[in-house]
């Protein structure tokens, strides 16, 4: 709450949604029945009104408090300030301004004639005309991270005919320049939330929207705005290689200036997906987040419109430039040495020629991905693509292996604070291959070698998420009761469950959202319940959420000279 007066928030009620929007004269009340400093509830054209008399005159407000709808006449009047009895929001009765709380209350016109007869004319503007004010109110709620206001305004906007993409874009526009390292989990999760709106009808569509907007509001709050550099005037660097080189040398300004120049000259998604899939394949970036965020950014643009590409791709770039290059870290060296032996362009061409939908893993690839030999995944993956797996078959095997791991993950280790590993790490094993599959599906063949490298990185990740098993126990694979009889309905229900506040920390919620959507897409592709079962177990299991005790334990270890496991 704040003591700063809030601008008026237009309120849409059920009566506003009726086709008859004309204001009409209200029934008459008598001034003699309304003592100074008193309130009474009236019905005007079926609408509940709080009639108030103070030393400044007679005023009429919506009777329903804009917070949760309790009656304002149950509150207290102090001069011209009315306090709602339920949660202490305070309003000026003269104009409805909120002086403590989140939203103003709507006021109506009052006429008192010389005989003391009071007439109230309802102020019921056409809901469509309120949309600009509602969007402004939603933005205020987003800026302050007032989840209640975000929820109310989202429902009002949907009632007023706003498109879900318009609502989510407003939040993304706020969050993009505030995301500390460019795209983040809030923006990625918001993209998935927007895609999930189709799983709901009517007002219920607000649930995924508000989850997405609230996530951005939480993570962007009080963060400084990061301006984008101007588009470069040097046309000689505005191409795929120029962008990729700027990313490689961590020249953020140059990379952003190149992307902006490309968008400004009219490059479209068919051109620029290629740029990003190339750039994110140069390194195994931050648990696959380079590829995951690129997929989400272009998916968001498909839903909100390419006219937002400048902001979306400009602010995506820092996540690619500054992502952790895991391939340079000690734990990836055995894998990278094996990968360096390969001519990936030639292998990609070979794989494309050999690819057949009939390929199935004879168990070799699965064993390599779920085993503990750090070089085995490369050899097994090469053999698979030569035998006909193609990139899609390789990604299928990765999804299956990670799903198996999720079903057998011994989550007692989740609360072993000395081990920097947990549920969230494993879930990237599903979202990463789903992102690479999306990028591959949008490739025109120019990046075959790069995409194969990305697919190889997903194999590394699938294998590496087993490191917990190498020094702890492997649980018994859990049998999961399906949430629905067929794969599509099961996937839809799983995604809806991810929105039901089964987690407390936003970061865990974001992983529940993105994993459930990736699992639903992967399951639908091959008519398999395996990734759905794995994700259902993840959603239902105990999860580390606060990370405070874990950080303290690790800080004590670190500051006493104990080194991290690689």
Which residues are near ligand FES by CB under 6 A? Answer: 65, 67-68, 70, 84, 86-87, 89
Nearest approach in angstroms of CB 7 to ligand FES is 18
Please say which residue, 155 or 380, places its beta carbon nearer to ligand FES: 155
Please say which residue, 152 or 174, places its beta carbon nearer to ligand FES: 152
Q: Round to whole Å and give the CA distance between 299 and 266.
A: 19
Q: Round to whole Å and give the CA distance between 344 and 341.
A: 9
Nearest approach in angstroms of CB 65 to ligand FES is 3
Cα-trace Rg, the chain: 28
Please say which residue, 89 or 506, places its beta carbon nearer to ligand FES: 89
Write out the two tokens for 138. 């939603």
Alpha-carbon torsion (537, 538, 540, 541), positive or negative = positive
Nearest approach in angstroms of CB 89 to ligand FES is 4
Answer whether 285's CB lies under 8 Å from 324's CB.
yes
Write out the two tokens for 114. 């010389």
Please say which residue, 101 or 288, places its beta carbon nearer to ligand FES: 101
Q: Round to whole Å and give the CA distance between 431 and 416.
A: 25
Please say which residue, 39 or 321, places its beta carbon nearer to ligand FES: 39
Nearest approach in angstroms of CB 67 to ligand FES is 3
With H, G, I as helix, E, B as strand and everything else as coil, classify residue 83.
strand
Please say which residue, 85 or 112, places its beta carbon nearer to ligand FES: 85
SS3 of 214-273: the string is HHHHHHHCCCCCCCCCCCCCCHHHCCHHHHHHHHHCCCHHHHHHHHHHHHHCCCCHHHHH
Residue of 80, 104, 101 lying closest to 92 (CA atoms): 80
Angle, helices 309-321 vs 289-304, to 10°: value is 180
Q: Round to whole Å and give the CA distance between 275 and 321.
A: 13
Nearest approach in angstroms of CB 448 to ligand FES is 59
DSSP letter for 57, please.
E
Please say which residue, 67 or 174, places its beta carbon nearer to ligand FES: 67
Please say which residue, 84 or 344, places its beta carbon nearer to ligand FES: 84
Please say which residue, 137 or 403, places its beta carbon nearer to ligand FES: 137
Nearest approach in angstroms of CB 83 to ligand FES is 8
Please say which residue, 149 or 281, places its beta carbon nearer to ligand FES: 149
Nearest approach in angstroms of CB 150 to ligand FES is 16
Nearest approach in angstroms of CB 107 to ligand FES is 16
First-to-last CA distance in the chain? 45
Sheet holding 29-30, edge to edge: 29-30, 117-121, 107-112, 57-62, 47-54, 38-44
Nearest approach in angstroms of CB 140 to ligand FES is 17
Q: Round to whole Å and give the CA distance between 32 and 29.
A: 9
Look at the block and give the residue holding tokens 């008519």: 527
Nearest approach in angstroms of CB 486 to ligand FES is 43
Residue of 39, 59, 61 lying closest to 48 (CA atoms): 61
Q: Round to whole Å and give the CA distance between 81 and 330.
A: 65
Write out the two tokens for 38. 């008193």
Please say which residue, 148 or 334, places its beta carbon nearer to ligand FES: 148
DSSP letter for 343, please.
-
Nearest approach in angstroms of CB 35 to ligand FES is 23
């Amino acid at each position: 709450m704040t003591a700063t007066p809030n601008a008026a928030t237009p309120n849409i009620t059920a009566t506003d949604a009726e086709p008859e929007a004309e204001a009409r004269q209200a029934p008459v009340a008598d001034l003699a029945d309304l003592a100074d400093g008193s309130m009474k509830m009236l019905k005007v054209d079926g609408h509940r009104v709080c009639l108030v008399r103070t030393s400044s005159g007679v005023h009429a407000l919506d009777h329903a408090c804009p917070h949760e709808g309790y009656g304002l006449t149950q509150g207290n009047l102090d001069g011209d300030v009315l306090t709602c009895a339920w949660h202490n929001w305070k309003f000026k009765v003269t104009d409805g301004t909120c002086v403590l709380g989140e939203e103003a209350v709507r006021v109506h016109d009052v006429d008192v004639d010389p005989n003391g007869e009071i007439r109230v004319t309802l102020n019921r503007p056409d809901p469509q005309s309120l949309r600009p004010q509602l969007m402004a109110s939603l933005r205020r709620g987003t800026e302050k991270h007032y989840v209640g206001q975000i929820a109310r305004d989202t429902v009002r906007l949907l009632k007023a005919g706003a498109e879900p993409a318009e609502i989510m874009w407003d939040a993304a526009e706020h969050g993009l320049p505030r995301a500390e390292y460019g795209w983040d989990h809030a923006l990625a999760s918001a993209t998935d939330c927007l895609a999930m709106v189709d799983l709901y009808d009517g007002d219920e569509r607000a649930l995924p929207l508000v989850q997405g907007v609230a996530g951005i509001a939480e993570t962007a709050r009080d963060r400084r705005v990061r301006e984008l550099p101007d588009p470069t005037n040097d046309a000689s660097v505005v191409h795929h290689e120029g962008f990729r080189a700027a990313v490689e040398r961590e020249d953020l300004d140059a990379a952003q200036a190149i992307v902006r120049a490309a968008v400004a000259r009219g490059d479209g998604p068919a051109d620029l997906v290629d740029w990003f899939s190339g750039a994110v394949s140069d390194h195994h970036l931050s648990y696959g987040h380079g590829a995951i965020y690129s997929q989400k950014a272009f998916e968001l643009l498909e839903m909100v419109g390419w006219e937002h590409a400048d902001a979306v791709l400009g602010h995506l770039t820092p996540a690619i430039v500054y992502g952790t290059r895991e391939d340079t870290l000690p734990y990836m060296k055995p894998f990278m040495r094996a990968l360096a032996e390969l001519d990936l362009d030639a292998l990609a061409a070979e794989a494309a020629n050999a690819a057949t939908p009939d390929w199935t893993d004879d168990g070799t690839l699965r064993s390599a991905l779920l085993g503990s030999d750090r070089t085995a995944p490369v050899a097994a993956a090469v053999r698979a693509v030569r035998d006909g797996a193609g990139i899609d078959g390789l990604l299928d095997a990765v999804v299956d292996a990670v799903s198996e791991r999720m079903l057998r993950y011994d989550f007692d280790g989740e609360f072993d604070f000395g081990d920097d590993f947990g549920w969230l790490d494993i879930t990237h094993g599903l979202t990463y291959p789903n992102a690479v599959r999306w990028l591959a599906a949008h490739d025109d063949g120019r990046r075959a070698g790069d995409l194969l490298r990305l697919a190889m990185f997903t194999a590394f990740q699938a294998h590496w998420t087993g490191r917990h098993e190498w020094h702890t126990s492997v649980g018994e694979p859990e049998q999961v009761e399906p949430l629905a009889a067929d794969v599509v309905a099961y996937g839809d229900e799983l995604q809806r469950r991810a929105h039901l506040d089964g987690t407390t920390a936003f970061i865990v919620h974001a992983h529940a959202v993105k994993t459930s959507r990736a699992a639903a897409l992967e399951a639908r592709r091959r008519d398999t319940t395996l990734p759905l079962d794995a994700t259902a177990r993840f959603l239902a299991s105990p999860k580390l959420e606060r990370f405070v005790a874990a950080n303290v334990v690790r800080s004590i270890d670190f500051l006493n000279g104990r080194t991290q496991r690689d």
